[in-house]
Structure 1
Amino acid sequence: MDSIDRKILAELQFDGRLTLTDLASRVGLTISPAHRRLRDLENSGAIVGYRAIVDPRALGLGFEALVFVTMKQEDRATLLGFEDAVGRIPNVLQAQRLFGDPDYLLRVRTTDLDAYARLEDDVLSALPGVQRLNSTLVMKNVVIDRPYPIVGP
């Protein structure tokens, strides 16, 4: 990946709907080489997809919690079962396995506190291997979905 590829990635992170003409102009290429590089970045997996960034409040999902999960068992089957199950819960927007304690961090969105309480009581606490859930309520998002810094030559 060279500096032009990095410029393409930087531009698309800020505006994924750029036309090929605008993208080429911004990175100093003509349309044909810009298109080839874009295809190469997609095929290599450097670009994994395109999406609209939606305001969760527009969907009625104004409540957010960070959930720290401590497992009672950490054998392979339990962890894989937990990860598979948590991956099927639509309200879990992000799930990360951590080193140390706690074992996992989940980012969850629901309509309100009551909906979150039901989700925690009925779904999250019943996930395979869960010993303890510790929730922190999000007061305000200060930085969210920031583009990755583009570093390199």
Structure 2
Amino acid sequence: MDALDRKILTELQVDGRLTVTELAGRVGLSVSPCHRRLRDLERAGVISGYRAVVDPGAVGLDFEALVFVTMRSADRDTVAAFEEAVAAVPHVLQAQRLFGEPDYLLRVATADLPAFQRLYDERLAKLPGVQRLVSTLVMKNVVHDRPLPE
């Protein structure tokens, strides 16, 4: 991957709806070489997809919490069961396995605090292998969905 590929990636992270012609103009290439590079980045899995970025508040998901999960056990079966179950919870926007304590960090979006409490009690606390959940509420997103650095 060279500097031109990185420029292509930067531009697409800012605006994934650019046409190949617009993209080529922004990175200083003609259309054919830009299109070839773009296809190569897609085939190599560097670009894994395209999506719309939706404002959570516009769809009624104004409440966000971070949930730290400590597991009872870190054996393979428990971890696999937990990860499969947490992946099936639609309000979990992001789940990351961590080194050290806690074991996982979940980013959760709901309509409001009562909806979060229901999700916490009815789904999150019942996930396989969970020993403890600790939550903190997001006051404000300062940096959100930033493009990866060049």
Output the TM-score relative to the length of structure 1.
0.96
Q: Which amino acid aligns with 1:4?
A: L
**How well do the aligned residues superpose, as a CA RMSD in angstroms?**
0.6
| Structure 2 counterparts to residues 64-75 of structure 1, below 5 A | 64-75=64-75
Q: Which runs of 5+ in 2 are unaligned?
A: none
Distance 2:138 2:3 in 1: 38
Deviation at 1:39, TM superposition (A): 0.3
Deviation at 1:50, TM superposition (A): 0.6
| Structure 2 counterparts to residues 99-118 of structure 1, below 5 A | 99-118=99-118
Distance 1:66 1:58 in 2: 20
State the identity %. Answer: 70
Deviations 1:23-57 (A, max 9, x none): 11111111111111100000001101111110000
- Runs (4+) of structure 1 moved beyond 3 Å? none
SS of equivalent residue, structure 1 residue 120? helix
Q: Which amino acid aligns with 1:16?
A: G
Q: Which runs of 5+ in 1 are unaligned?
A: none
Q: Kindly indicate whether residue 40 of structure 2 is the aligned counterpart of residue 43 of structure 1.
A: no
Deviation at 1:115, TM superposition (A): 0.5
Output the TM-score relative to the length of structure 2.
0.98
Instruction: Report the counterpart of residue 123 of structure 2 in structure 1.
Output: 123
Residues paired across the two proteins, number? 150
Instruction: Report the counterpart of residue 29 of structure 1 in structure 2.
Output: 29
